[in-house]
A and B are shown apart, each in its own frame.
Chain A
Amino acid sequence: MTDKTDNLEALMRQSLDGDKRAYAELLRETARLLQPFLAKRLSFGSEVDDLLQEILISIHKARHTYDGMRPYKPWAYAIARFRLQDYLRDHYADHLRHAVDLCEVENDLHEDVTGSAMSYESISGEINKLPEKQATILRMMHQEGYTAKEVAEKMGMNESAVKVAAHRAYKILRKKLER
């Protein structure tokens, strides 16, 4: 392995001269080198594979910025890190777009969703149709009188997750009851 990685500079020099076989070998070695680096930082194998392909394409596009005179690995890792950061930024931005604002959740929790005008019992049929976890949370909070913190403790969840699940359940109920 050491011999192979030491040889990467030579492979890249040959590649820059137009040696296609050396280039294919270099890309294979690079993929082997970067795979564990990405696997450590990403949760799913499919993500690793997708990103690895993207990195290889980036290496291909940027190969003229390597002159064969300096170590190859820092150059390849710089590109890999750059693409990884890009990927994570997009990934988290996407998650944030779909995330629920906790303030919004807090407001909902203070609403009297199951007040006297609409008791828990009167909508229990609709509540039972909710996904099991959401239904359990509403039952515990509005029938049994637990706070979000207590529900979280009992269900082994964190408090924010309980609030978010309750908020989503309210949204579904509100939609159904408005019809």
Chain B
Amino acid sequence: MKEDFEQLIETLAEDAAAVKPAPHPLRLSMKWLGAAAAYLAISLTLSGPRPDLAQKFHEPWFVAELASLLGIFIATSLSAALLAFPDLHQKRGIAFSPTWMFALFLLVIYFAWHADSPPAPLPVQSLECTLSITLMTLLPAAWTFHAMRKFASTHYRLAGSIALLSAFSVGALWLRLHEINDSIIHVIQWHYLPMLGIGLIGLWLGKVLLKW
């Protein structure tokens, strides 16, 4: 057995050429955030922002909703980058920071829902919103998973879920800036509740794509 060990160590050592260490997760997430921001800007330019966007920015709960969604996008991006490393780059607290962002987001949505009185009329579209966000999610999800596969996640399910939620938040941001809709109930039902399903799909995708 000792001989087997020595042989294995020698084989691995023989195979060990110089290796360029992976970039710092902060840099990695900045890269993803930059790419996603560019993607969001291009998509908004092509699809056009909602005509009353400037006016909506005067509504505090709309701004708070967008800010917390942006917070989720940034926190999940950073978390996904950390989760791609076996030891979470020894920054466990930051890796699990999306939990706090999601809690804050829920709180904001709850207050926005309370402030929506009398309730704004529901728009005609429903499932189309979820599908549009999902379609917008595909590209950022693909590049994030592609990048994460180059690392070695020991939390592959969670990493998959967080990466997919990060991509989904790009789509959700885009639709919130594009769609003419004031109904928070619609937004909860068709924009944000599907996040639960996306999180579950992410767990599965993580197992399929990130296990090593």
Chain A interface (Cβ < 8 Å from any Cβ of B): 15-18, 20-21, 23-24, 27-28, 31, 49, 52-53, 56-58, 60-68, 70-71, 74-75, 77-79, 81-82
| Chain B residues, CB < 8 A from A61 | 152, 212
Chain B interface (Cβ < 8 Å from any Cβ of A): 1, 4-5, 8-10, 12-22, 24, 84-90, 151-152, 154, 212
Report whether B22 and A23 are in contact in the complex, using a CB–CB cutoff of 8 Å. Answer: no
| Chain A residues, CB < 8 A from B16 | 15, 18, 20, 23, 60, 63
Interface of A is mostly: helix
Report whether B21 and A16 are in contact in the complex, using a CB–CB cutoff of 8 Å. Answer: yes
A142: min CB distance to chain B, Å: 48
13 A-B contacts (beta carbon < 8 Å): A15-B16, A18-B17, A24-B9, A53-B8, A56-B8, A56-B12, A57-B12, A60-B16, A62-B212, A65-B22, A65-B84, A65-B152, A78-B88
A29: min CB distance to chain B, Å: 11
CB within 8 A of A81: which of B22, B90, B151, B154? B154
A30: min CB distance to chain B, Å: 10
CB within 8 A of B19: which of A52, A64, A74? A64
Kindly state the separation between the CA atoms of A17 and B18 in the bound complex, as whole angstroms.
5
Report whether B19 and A16 are in contact in the complex, using a CB–CB cutoff of 8 Å. Answer: yes
